[in-house]
Structure 1
Amino acid sequence: MAEFKGEDEVVELCRDLIRIDSTNAGDNAGPGEREAAEYVAGKLAEVGLEPRILESDTRRASVVARIEGTDPGRDALLLHGHLDVVPFDADDWTHHPLSGEIADGCVWGRGAVDMKDMDAMILAVVRKRMREGRRPPRDVVLAFTADEEAGGRYGAQWLVKEHPELFEGCTEAIGEVGGFSVSIDENKRLYLIEAAEKGIAWMKLTARGRAGHGSMLSAENAVTELAEAVARLGRYEWPVRLTPTIRAFLEEVSAALEIPFDAEDPEAAVAKLGPLARMIGAVLRNTVNPTMFQAGYKANVIPQEATAYVDGRFLPGYEEEFFQTVDELLGPNVTREFVYHDIAVETGFDGPLVRAMADALEAEDPGARAVPYTMSGGTDLKAFSRLGIRGFGFAPLKLPADLDFSGMFHGVDERVPMDSLKFGVRVLDRFLDHS
């Protein structure tokens, strides 16, 4: 077998990881991450590190390792990535999602962008540096986690609660989803670095009424009560809220597009971002999307109870406003309870770590401009932030202008260009030298 080194190795690492089934449907009944964790730990041990595999439950495994830096007086940096992936229907795919197939210059498969690509880039960089005896200026903690796709209960949240000592000294972190390029023109690319995440509120809604025969009049119909409340939530037009990160992003985009920044009409700039507008448009405001509705057991019986589920996301600084509005829209006859609730996070786009990210990008792509953005979803950063760690999404990829990158997340035919993976390895290597 050929020996791969540095940026050339990243493609094979990514393919290997994709071929390991670590599907996570959120019910703790899947294959788990143990096989992937053992693979990662083995690759780290091969170059002299001492990784630990930690199981929070049967086969729910994470890996943590520490690289000693050359300056023991500095705070440590955390590099984190998750090992689990979301489910798939293989019949919908051009290439099997567990194949790691190479086609059209890309590595195909579930996890190619979310986020076994970053796991592979971290492994490739670390293995290259350890072989060459190049230690980073400060301690670097590596964390490859379980269960991120279901909120991190068996992964980052568990590690933070049960093993905080593993992250001793860590004050800053990089992980998903950021550092990817958006082409403005042939010579200009914005690289979106995540500096904020919306909070999460997955909620179960319940309405209760009076059971009865479907042929009779009913003034206390739980299905009607809940359906009206869900419709109010789903159709509500949330007001635009320009947080510091969103405003900074829109100002950068407007400048790159050479159009005036209009705080009264921010969606004009967003609309020019093509497919990315779906994701960016969602961070201009709080959102609630109905996702499930359950009621009844027979066509001629009015049920006593109806339930629905909604996916709510709130901006940093707007959680109180979000829940106040939700309760007003639900009305007095519908109750809510959390299925999952987590914080929003936001940090300033400044300081030496930000400069190190921007400089590393510009060194590999002279047309690069690093800009902050807010992510509509959530990552393990929420858990690590509870340890006082300031984090960013920085998984650097220089992408083809016509690739619908945001559509790859949890989508069909997920794939990542091989050249983008190699670019990411070069950028991360430079970044570690100056982080």
Structure 2
Amino acid sequence: MLNWPAVHREALDIFVRYLQIDTSNPPGNEKPAARFLGALCEAEGIETEYIETAPNREILVARLRGDGSKRPLMLCNHTDVVPVEAQYWDMPAFEGIVQDGKVYGRGAVDMKGCGVMQLIAFLLLKRQGVKLKRDIVFCAVPDEEAGSDWGMVWLCEHRPDVVDVEFELSEGGGGTTRFGREEAKLFSVATNEKDICWLRLTAVGRPGHGSVPHAENSAVYLVQALNRLIDWERGLTFTPDTEAYITRLAEAGLMPTLSDRAAVEERVKNSPELLAMFINTLNLTMLDAGIKANVIPAKSEAVIDCRLLPGQSKADWMDRVRERIADDRISVELYSPDQGEPARVDWDTELFRTINAVVKEAMEDAIVVPGMTIGGTDNRFLRELGIPAYGFIPCLLSPEERRGFHGNNEFLTIENLNMGCELMYEIVRRMVV
């Protein structure tokens, strides 16, 4: 029997210290995080490797060996975090402050907390001397928040031996305490994700003095184009994954059935997170125009964050954006790296069934559904290799915790950290024995 109170204390200590390592990306500098996690593995006598992909950026690969009767399981997490606008936080973002049952810090939910859950499962199986049928690969990678070129992309290209696994678990899905206005213990296992398609819009006009009426202002051209995009009404697109998602929610009484398509669409349109699963999203995230208050800008630029549904082409989407803008004075070009289109993997697998069984045994009223990540994760690179790479953080995040993804005052409750450690351990244990 495991002494879970002692494990919980250990996990909290590791979590706090991990959050104190500033791995904001850019610039990244994730090596100290890799070494921190690696030292905990080394202290247990675990086979550990550090792979440098760029100066001060390392991948940690630790491995527990199985008997080879089953192929390996990878537990993957990223060590980098998005930057902080410190003036909008109520406390320092890199001190791992524990307050009122919550642990605050950049990376608490995205995704250092999940990394600790994976690490605890990994360490416990080593300490227990469990006879493994599979290798367990604990992998902590840099650069996920900036496209993964120095993390998972590098690993897939240069070390295919590390990613030669049967299954992988990372971020992208998990539990939530609410669905719309209803309370629910809803767990989504992400088996697919949208494609990242950031676009740069550039308008070129004629510069001039700010005091003179002017009809060729590049900033005005750009604003007009952006308004057309913001007002763009687009219909919903249903995919096999989202239909399976709706079907399971309907079985649990949380959604109308697909036979009542109008009612389903009404519910979808009233929930931003749900809506994102059914449309190509478009959000204005960056603006750049002007050099001085009294100079009309010759060039104005904007970046829009688009996320495309599976099976949609970046080139086709860019053509649709150009048609919507309908202004030859605005150029549209791809701003994000073109890393191909995400591949779909099956959700009817041993790993999905294990997650479903463990969660429902822990919470009889839990609902487990296959889902789609509306953001981008490292899973997409493994899915391209045909690996069922699932996004799953095994805890119940409140709406306030969910707002911490790239938001201010990011936190994870201690209750969720404890739950995540216990569920992750049991899922991994069942997969490897």
TM beyond 0.5: yes
User: What is the CA-CA distance between 1:138 and the residue it aligns to?
Assistant: 1.3
Cα deviation code 1:155-179 (max 9, x no counterpart): 11122222222222x1321100222
2:299 alignment counterpart: 305
Q: 1:65 aligns with which of 62, 78, 88?
A: 62
The question of 1:98 aligning with 2:99 is answered no
Partners of 1:78 and 1:174 within 8 A in 2 = yes
CA distance in 2, matches of 1:233, 1:116: 35
Partner residue, 1:45: 42
2:83 corresponding residue in structure 1: 87
Inter-partner Cα distance in structure 1 for 2:110 and 2:195: 19
**1: CA distance, partners of 2:236 / 2:367:** 26
**Residues 53, 327 of structure 1: CA spacing in aligned structure 2 closer, same or farther, 3 A cutoff?**
same
**TM-superposed deviation, 1:188:** 5.4
Say if 2:390 is the partner of 1:395.
no
Read off the aligned partner of 1:21 and give its amino acid letter.
D
CA contact (8 A) 1:22 1:85 kept: yes
Which residue in the other structure is 2:120 paired with? Answer: 124
Question: Taking structure 2 as the reference length, what is the TM-score of the superposition?
Answer: 0.89
Deviation, structure 1 residue 302: 4.2
**Could you say if the C-alpha distance between residues 225 and 271 of structure 1 is closer, same or farther in structure 2, counting changes exceeding 3 Å?**
closer
Give 2:225's aligned residue: 229
User: What's 1:56 paired with?
Assistant: 53
Change (3 A) 1:337 1:43: same
Conserved? CA contact 2:255–2:264, under 8 Å: no
How many residues align? The count is 421
Tell me by how many angstroms 1:368 deviates: 1.7
Q: How many angstroms does 1:187 deviate by?
A: 9.5
1:175 corresponds, among 159, 170, 178, to: 170
Q: Deviations over 1:231-254 (max 9, x none)?
A: 212221222111222222222223
Report the counterpart of residue 289 of structure 1 in structure 2: 283
Counterparts of 1:333-344 in structure 2, within 5 Å, are 333-341=329-337, 342=339, 343-344=341-342
After TM superposition, the score normalised by the length of structure 1 is 0.88
Bigger drift between 95-104 and 356-365 goes to 95-104
Gaps of 5+ in 1: none
Distance across 2 between alignment mates of 1:202 and 1:384: 22
Mapping for residues 331-370 of structure 1, pairs under 5 Å: 331=326, 332-341=328-337, 342=339, 343-370=341-368
Q: Distance in 2 between matches of 1:90 and 1:135?
A: 47
Aligned mates of 2:317, 2:301 — CA distance in 1: 21
Query: Does the aligned pair in 1 maintain the 2:191–2:388 contact within 8 Å?
Result: no
Give 1:44 shift.
1.0
Deviations 1:392-419 (A, max 9, x none): 11120034xx553321211222211222
Where structure 2 has 5 or more consecutive residues not aligned to the other structure, the ranges are: none
Identical pairs, percent: 32
In 2, the alpha carbon distance for the partners of 1:136 and 1:115 equals: 27
Distance 2:233 2:131 in 1: 51
